[in-house]
Amino acid sequence: MFVLARAITYSTLFIGLLLVFLPARVLERAGVRPPAALGPAQVMGLALGATGALLALACILTFVAIGKGTPAPFDPPRKLVVAGPYRVMRNPMYAGAGLALAGAAIYTGSWGLFAYALGFLIAAHLFVVGYEEPHLLRRFGADYESYAASTSRWLPRWRSLPGKGRPS
């Protein structure tokens, strides 16, 4: 139960800063106000944003339930997580956050927020390649190497992981 409390705390801080506070400052600086009415773009933005948010939430819960850890780099899962959204791609939490930001950009019609979403994804990619992947390889060795070989970094691969030797 304590791991869930830690995950909620860290996730709230991460989401609050990178996905709520900073994007709100981008919109505020650009003078963007919420749309007066819901049109097709707003419905699409809401759907995309909700999908991204649900994907990120599923990742957090998977980290807690299976990995026995949190999304925070200083309190990571104790086990390699290859289930749930991680079964089809290696970085679904970042992808979900990027979708949520892109959905907000579409909803508000803000190019500044779209640029922020793109910057977020570029920063996530650099973090993944420069820190996370080397760290996971050192920590989980052949299990991570096998997982990385069978899943894409950013795009879903809908086929199953290979047979009995797959990481748990």
Q: Where are the domains of the chain?
A: 2-150
Helix (H, G, I), strand (E, B) or coil at 166: coil
pLDDT (0 to 100) of residue 159: 66
pTM equals 0.84
pLDDT (0 to 100) of residue 33: 85
pLDDT (0 to 100) of residue 167: 45
Q: Looking at this protein, which amino acid is placed at residue 150?
A: S
pLDDT means over runs of 10, the chain (168 residues): 77 81 88 88 96 94 88 85 94 95 95 95 97 95 95 84 45
Burial of 26 (0-12, 13-18, 19+ CB in 10 A): buried
